[in-house]
Amino acid sequence: MTTEAIVTDLDLDAIEMRAAGATPGPWATDPDSAWRRCHEAHEYVYATDPTDRAGIVALTGIKGEHVRNARDAAFIAHARTDVPALVAEVRRLRAELAEVNGRCDQTAAARDRYKRERDTERAVADQLRQDLREADDNYGALQQHIADIRNGDA
């Protein structure tokens, strides 16, 4: 699946509903909270006071086993505000893209109309050139005929 297909296939309404249904944010991590110091086994993500165990939203693997645990916790904590912001940005960009595509369609239609008008004008100009050549030929033949009449050759 291409990146474009992934972005196009995003169900923003479903993403927004999941974000809205999650514990209100913002979320955070606090490696220095008093409660955490008592229970240092995990990296915690909380939605309220870091000392309130009821506010814990998520916890990562065993603290210190993997350096990425703290990074995972930070990622999870920021997801509460990042996801709604990203959904809003995708909606804004989609609206902007639709507007640009509409203007492109209008521009293409105008271009096509001007090309048709240009082609029509070219055809008229070509016909006028042909008519002028024929008129020049007729004028030349008429002058020759007049000269022949004056010389008595007609």
Q: Where are the domains of the chain?
A: 3-115
Give me the percent of the chain exceeding a pLDDT of 70: 75
- Cβ neighbours for 33, distance < 8 A, ≥ 6 positions apart: 44, 46, 50, 51
pLDDT digits over 100-113, tens only? 999 999 999 999 99
- Residue 131's pLDDT is what? 95
| 57 neighbors 23 (Cβ within 8 angstroms) | yes
Q: Is it the case that residue 1 has pLDDT exceeding 50?
A: no
- Residue 134's pLDDT is what? 94
2 or 93, greater pLDDT: 93
Span of 62-66, 93-97, 132-136, 148-152 with lowest mean pLDDT: 62-66
Sequence-distant contacts of 82-85: CB under 8 A, at least 24 apart: 83/15, 83/19, 84/16, 84/19
List the structure tokens of 83. 């996801």
pLDDT digits over 44-62, tens only? 787 876 566 667 777 776 6
Q: Is it the case that residue 3 has pLDDT exceeding 70?
A: no
Burial zone of 60 (CB within 10 Å; 0-12 exposed, 13-18 middle, 19+ buried): buried
Where b means 16+ CB within 10 Å and e means fewer, 89-126 reads eeeeeeeeeeeeeeeeeeeeeeeeeeeeeeeeeeeeee
